[in-house]
Amino acid sequence: MSKFDQMPKEIEERILRLGRKAQTKSLPFVKWKDGTFEINDRSVLHSQWIALADQATAGWVRWNSNFTKVEQKTPTVCIYEHDEPARPMTPDGSKNMWRLQLELPLQQIETSELALFTSNTEWARQAIGTVLEYFAKTHRRPIVQLEAREAIKDDKPMVVGALDIVAPDEGDDFVIDITRSGTPAAGNGAAAPGSKSSDMDDNIPF
């Protein structure tokens, strides 16, 4: 007989939850680089993905004065289950250096590959916002195609990425539920899948 045979249920559940979280793997990021979308240096331009809008997360990041480095991140929450977290304040009471960070998991239709798309630019934030609005209005996860679009910024032409919504996803049974797979859950205040570092392509987030 072991002294742990009478382990209280709440301790068992807490340790089990932490153990499962420790075994999760970070999702690769969908990067926008040199006019194309890439995952692990592989171009995925024109590919189609299911946007898992019900598992999108929101959190806050604080940048340094030059907007070149993330100094601090808050826990992210699944916006399907929780309200957007309140913007935090710096020790001096300022809120200006905090920027809302949205993360949208994507699942490749043919292979079931999972990847993470983040709002590290203005167009990326708007793209995620469009996906969330579509999901709220249709009650369907959208199928999106990763495309490049011409845009004008400061009177100069440029190329930006786009998540073109091409169809609603009706195959709910096919889609992997991130919260039940080997990928970390983002709800209940847990950290979202992946971690941000030098993977961000732009110095200025928005």
List of residues 6+ apart from 113 with CB closer than 8 A: 39, 107
Q: Provide the residue ranges of all domains of the chain, joining segments of one domain with +.
A: 26-180
- The pLDDT tens digits of the residues spanning 87-128 come to 988 777 666 778 999 999 999 998 989 999 999 889 999 999
Q: Are 204 and 123 in contact (CB under 8 A)?
A: no
Give the predicted TM-score (pTM) of the model.
0.73
Strands (E), 52-90: 57-63, 70-73, 77-78
Name the nearest CA neighbour of 32 among 124, 127, 112. 124
